[in-house]
Structure 1
Amino acid sequence: MKNTLIIFLLIIPRLLCADAWDNLTLQQAEQVSEFLNTDPYILDYCDCCNYEGEYATKIYLMKVKSTEIITCDWNSEYYSVRADVDILAEIPYIKEGPDINYAHRYKSKEELVITMNYTWAYNEQKEKAAPIYTIIPYNIYGETNPNLGSCKAFTSFPKPKQIKNRKYKKWYNKRFQI
């Protein structure tokens, strides 16, 4: 009994960490997919995670190549958006958030499930990278949920000079009028 209690106490902190919001209505999934098809550059990072922890030591700049709407793997009443992405850069995560001044090129291809709180996209009103729920309305957990919000301030995208990608440079210059 004592061992069971110890194991249970060790598991609890894992269950309390931030949840990725990948459970979308069909309409939200369609909006996310449409948005990413027209504005494909995203940052993938957990702004609420401990910057020294396993999940938040790096931030990735990615380009979405394609999206697919699938059934949410943990709640069949909802949908998720799966994306094929090219990882363009790795950005260090410091206590204050992404350290975009030290982004460096990184080439890889991956499959990613888009999350409303940990996928950051270009928010036109803020002119910054912001969680995608600030662009596509997401209120599955209710508008009054105290956890609905960013843990860190919105951030900037890395400068094209660091990334050395012609298409990213064109996208960046268009968004930031450079």
Structure 2
Amino acid sequence: MKKISFLFILIAFASANGVWADPEDCMSRAEAEALVKKIKKERYLVDYCDCCNDVGTGVTANLLLVKKAVVVSCEYDTERFSVKMEAQMLASFKVRDQEYAEKAAHEGNTWNLALLNYQYFLEKGQARHLGFALRPGYEAPRCSGLKSFPPAALLNDKKYSAWLAQKGL
């Protein structure tokens, strides 16, 4: 009976650890402050759960224009910090096999936490997890990832098009 109880506790603990790492939003104060600076500089992010799309069936990616980013206390670890953002959702897209498919209807304003493993910034023409903005050796989830930001042709947004052109795209 003791062996079964110990095995059950071990399995429950291992399962809980796997779930706890998702999403990744808590960090040191210095990292949170650096992330606020990066987000304010970039302004555009893509919110996308690449691990949710591992089978390639299509999950929604949201293009965000960040209006405000602030450091707040982490909800589940009072000694760490998160970054809370106010963003305008410019557009949503179905993503299949790392490519933007059709546009989905979903636009508006949103408050959201910056998630190191589910939000992307644009660097040298490639979409990169926010975690890479803080830690060069960041270990992103081992999922399909996201190759790029939505092409300007998929949106009717002059400011976004100009931003992409400024980035060389």
Band of TM-score, shorter chain: 0.7 to 0.9
Once the 2 structures are TM-superposed, how far is the Cα of residue 106 of structure 1 from its aligned partner?
4.2
Once the 2 structures are TM-superposed, how far is the Cα of residue 153 of structure 1 from its aligned partner?
4.0
Cα distance per residue 1:88-130 (max 9 Å; x no partner): 1111032x23x32433574200001001111111123xx2111
2: distance between equivalents of 1:133 and 1:170?
A: 26
> What is the match of residue 27 of structure 2?
24
Cα distance per residue 1:114-162 (max 9 Å; x no partner): 01111111123xx2111011222178xxx7xxxx324224411111121
> What is the match of residue 4 of structure 2?
none
Q: Give TM-score scaled by structure 1 length.
A: 0.75
The one-letter code sitting in structure 2 at the alignment partner of 1:86 is Q
Greater alpha carbon shift after TM alignment, 68-77 vs 17-26: 17-26
2: distance between equivalents of 1:171 and 1:93?
A: 22
Which of 41, 45, 59 is residue 42 of structure 1 equivalent to?
A: 45
Distance change >3 Å, CA 15–CA 90, structure 1 → 2: farther
Assess if the C-alpha contact under 8 Å between 1:22 and 1:113 holds in 2.
yes
Q: CA RMSD in A?
A: 2.7
1: distance between equivalents of 2:100 and 2:167?
A: 17
Structure 1 spans left out of the alignment, 5+ residues: 1-8
Structure 2 spans left out of the alignment, 5+ residues: 1-10
Q: Give TM-score scaled by structure 2 length.
A: 0.79
The one-letter code sitting in structure 2 at the alignment partner of 1:120 is Y
> Matched residues, percent identical?
21
Number of equivalences = 154
> What is the match of residue 3 of structure 1?
none
